[in-house]
Structure 1
């Protein structure tokens, strides 16, 4: 493999001196009897987690995995997943968590692209790899089932020593490889090193992750959204509670039963939680900190969370690749709920036009970010890494986000849309997000997406897709007329269509590519 393009992020105010692997080892010695992991009825203390992490590391090493090799996991959230994640790191290898939303073809491409030396698979997702995995030249381990071509996970652990292999790990060593695409096309592997993850730990104390935190995560561990709550909690010596699958009612029960203090959620989860009919019946007084990321959280949902859900609400805007990060402390900025906050310390964001020039203050441009936490690059793809980079006049590296936005007069970032989701109709730029917000103001609309569809007159034109509340009696034409009465002439929707539900990723993002496909595939070329 060719060497990676060197990405040199700016140094944080306090440079990390300790890897996550080192800190977790220390935590197990310091508080061996404290709970570290909880998932359903399973509970592990720090001492138990440490021993099982050592066993995983030794299993991986006995497979012939060397420092820096990629080791894949395909599983729902579980105790086994968590200890595999940590054990692979302790062996000096790179964790490659695979998306359970990916197609078999995409997973095949991910495993080939990563040159994974081993894969750990849970029964729930075995069918996704069954057709090809036995033909690959890699070690195979079944987490919770039996198969003649797979080693048994618990047997392998029982046979491995519980002693720490003490593999030396440098900040520049690979930490994890996260694939950004899982449905079609060639996936891109986002490579993070130990420096990047250690630099993220600056938020541990300010966010109270080191104060006997009990963090509930309900998004999958292959998602960066989950990892940025999972790792700080463990780094702080606290306890992670995992849900294998999100259910709003069960989520509230866990908060009440376990006195949860911290959580990371994506916007669609907040909406489902706040819509639970007996929400007010749950005792949520233990909650201290609630975080949101992965997509913008609607202002009206933020306001509802602030009014009824105890604890602070903090929204992060950033990318899995890293770069510029903004933070909105919603409780302190009730008039800025339509934004994603201000720059995090040590971060910088520039807004550029299609020619790569910075736009004037207040105008919309593509968001390019730079900060202490930046990926090492796309794995083995210097070409893609180079395309992702924008440089300022001093030659500093910024990452192009593909998101469009503007800064208001107070320095709060207002998102407009994904660049690829922007609709160009009659030569005018239309931001789908603006139209979606208008549709969502309709009392009968529960969910909405706006996409560009082919138009002979305009090239493309905006189409609204909506899911309606139960009991709604108005037609989609009524909704269209109400929306267009609010929208500007150049923004008006060509039509509104009803959908029973929107296709979403596991972390709640609407899959607009799937929504657009039928319209564009039917267009003659």
Structure 2
């Protein structure tokens, strides 16, 4: 299987940027291992691997793969929770010049079968937790990650396999729960440009990075790969919970963390949060969904260190950053375009809109996928071509830029509510609802209406057993325009979320639309 199969349109990523110096992954691993020796590289619940051990292990993993004929142009898959061995596997595959494909264990078995077949990986690594499912995915060889070192055996440690900038680094599957999965490919150029930027956020070899989202998510990988390249120590959690996260942060004197909004919310709701010493923290990062301003305010007051909020896509392209300490008046935004990012707003017909107008956000930057694997049609659908012929990634997100160049996100285009001919953005309503003291979590969805076609419904996780749904609705509507009114508030024990914390609104809407109730 070759890289050429992944290109669906003219290459999106610019090949060169003037003055650019790229960090190459494999050689950097060799350099870090030699320089840092016994300094911890990866820590999980069962073991600590030093940099010297890590360097030797990934070089021997690469040697074993090379003996099997696996290198540039081939793919290796995994289905596993976070661990030191999973991190080593990832690094070893890339060191060998091959492409790593971490399959999402949150996907259905049917989707996983399609993903394994789509990537063509014949070698699949897994754990006992996912062994039964993994055994049905059609791989030629299945290896238990707990026995990774036995599998490596006496394979020789090899030098990093030379790679070209457009050789594939990894591939992440998106939207694989239904229909045809989309494999988002990242080449070495894409990843190198990403981790070349991390120094500006203070993640260096004296850093300790907490990882508590799955390794198959780009949210995790953006931080994890950068941490390895910079020589930091990674603390890997197999599953997030508040007390374990806080305990490990204190124990290992964590300096950085990559978290998603729901994790910040749960940490702020943790009764014991203030018992832990988090004074070592320098920077917390947030991505995958907008971090609500009310949550930013709580975190900035109670948790040492800054928050850097990032907006972007696994596909690359659009890229903004919000420095929360520097811009306390912009906590309702996702920040400004990062250096080198060109971001615009377009209407439904693909026409560029003037600055400040609402529309679909599109973006272009140095880090952009070459395309979806084996899927040129989907690649074209995800691409907007500017009048001067440049390719931009379509986000599907609705938003606008304010007069200071900060991006205000509203909703996914498909989640916009059209009631009585008026466009209603759930994010506007959710922002108001979150300010109510009895609201712990909330999602606003469209439900059918005889009079209006659609109408907003607020699904609320109450913060108090004394919360009153009608009182919350009345309070909210008093602060909204006449065309934005919430029709009802329903209480839920929790809201369905993906493994990286995104609310599954499609799942919430389905019961209301199945029978087209009025």
1:147 — aligned with what?
Answer: none
The question of whether the paired residues in 1 share the 8 Å contact of 2:22 and 2:193 is answered with no
The question of whether the paired residues in 1 share the 8 Å contact of 2:6 and 2:371 is answered with no
Say which is worse superposed, 312-321 or 269-278, in terms of deviation.
269-278
Q: Which runs of 5+ in 2 are unaligned?
A: none
1:209 — aligned with what?
Answer: 203
The 1:330–1:166 alpha-carbon spacing in structure 2 relative to 1, beyond 3 Å, is closer
1:3 Cα deviation from its structure 2 partner: 5.6
The 1:14–1:75 alpha-carbon spacing in structure 2 relative to 1, beyond 3 Å, is farther
Q: Deviations over 1:444-492 (max 9, x none)?
A: 1111101112223322221111111232242x22222222222222111
Q: Distance in 1 between matches of 2:375 and 2:182?
A: 8
The question of whether the paired residues in 2 share the 8 Å contact of 1:13 and 1:346 is answered with no
Q: Which runs of 5+ in 1 are unaligned?
A: 145-151
Q: Distance in 2 between matches of 1:306 and 1:473?
A: 27
Q: Deviations over 1:113-165 (max 9, x none)?
A: 111121101111223334x23xx252221223xxxxxxx5332122423x115
2:144 — aligned with what?
Answer: 142
1:178 — aligned with what?
Answer: 172
Q: Deviations over 1:272-312 (max 9, x none)?
A: 11222122221111111111111000001111111111111
Matches within 5 A, 1:267-282: 267-282=261-276
Q: Distance in 1 between matches of 2:510 and 2:269?
A: 31
Q: Distance in 2 between matches of 1:458 and 1:127?
A: 48
1:101 Cα deviation from its structure 2 partner: 0.6
Q: Distance in 1 between matches of 2:19 and 2:214?
A: 30
1:156 — aligned with what?
Answer: 151
1:510 — aligned with what?
Answer: 503
Q: Distance in 1 between matches of 2:258 and 2:428?
A: 26
The 1:399–1:99 alpha-carbon spacing in structure 2 relative to 1, beyond 3 Å, is same
1:423 Cα deviation from its structure 2 partner: 1.0
> Which of 361, 386, 397 pairs up with 1:392?
386
The question of whether the paired residues in 2 share the 8 Å contact of 1:403 and 1:417 is answered with yes
What SS does the corresponding residue of 1:367 show, helix, strand or coil?
A: strand
The question of whether the paired residues in 2 share the 8 Å contact of 1:348 and 1:371 is answered with yes
2:132 — aligned with what?
Answer: 127
Matches within 5 A, 1:365-380: 365-380=359-374
Matches within 5 A, 1:299-318: 299-318=293-312
> Which of 77, 86, 89 pairs up with 2:82?
77
Q: Distance in 1 between matches of 2:242 and 2:189?
A: 35
> Which of 35, 42, 46 pairs up with 2:40?
35
The question of whether the paired residues in 2 share the 8 Å contact of 1:101 and 1:182 is answered with no
1:13 Cα deviation from its structure 2 partner: 5.4
Matches within 5 A, 1:208-287: 208-287=202-281
Q: Distance in 1 between matches of 2:63 and 2:511?
A: 49
1:416 — aligned with what?
Answer: 410
The question of whether the paired residues in 1 share the 8 Å contact of 2:23 and 2:196 is answered with no
Q: Distance in 2 between matches of 1:71 and 1:250?
A: 31
Q: Deviations over 1:200-246 (max 9, x none)?
A: 12223222222411111111110101111111111111211111111
1:434 — aligned with what?
Answer: 428
What SS does the corresponding residue of 2:325 show, helix, strand or coil?
A: helix
Q: Distance in 1 between matches of 2:18 and 2:275?
A: 44
Q: Distance in 2 between matches of 1:447 and 1:216?
A: 24
Q: Distance in 2 between matches of 1:119 and 1:195?
A: 25
Q: Distance in 1 between matches of 2:331 and 2:64?
A: 48
The question of whether the paired residues in 2 share the 8 Å contact of 1:12 and 1:346 is answered with no
Q: Distance in 1 between matches of 2:139 and 2:145?
A: 19
Q: Deviations over 1:65-111 (max 9, x none)?
A: 34221111111100110011011111211000011111101101111
Does structure 1 residue 110 correspond to structure 2 residue 115? yes
- After TM superposition, the score normalised by the length of structure 2 is 0.95
The question of whether the paired residues in 2 share the 8 Å contact of 1:16 and 1:198 is answered with no
Q: Distance in 1 between matches of 2:18 and 2:207?
A: 25
The 1:166–1:344 alpha-carbon spacing in structure 2 relative to 1, beyond 3 Å, is closer
- After TM superposition, the score normalised by the length of structure 1 is 0.94
Say which is worse superposed, 33-42 or 442-451, in terms of deviation.
33-42
Q: Deviations over 1:364-402 (max 9, x none)?
A: 110000001101110011111111111112111110000
Aligned residues: 512
Say which is worse superposed, 363-372 or 275-284, in terms of deviation.
275-284
Q: Distance in 2 between matches of 1:154 and 1:25?
A: 19
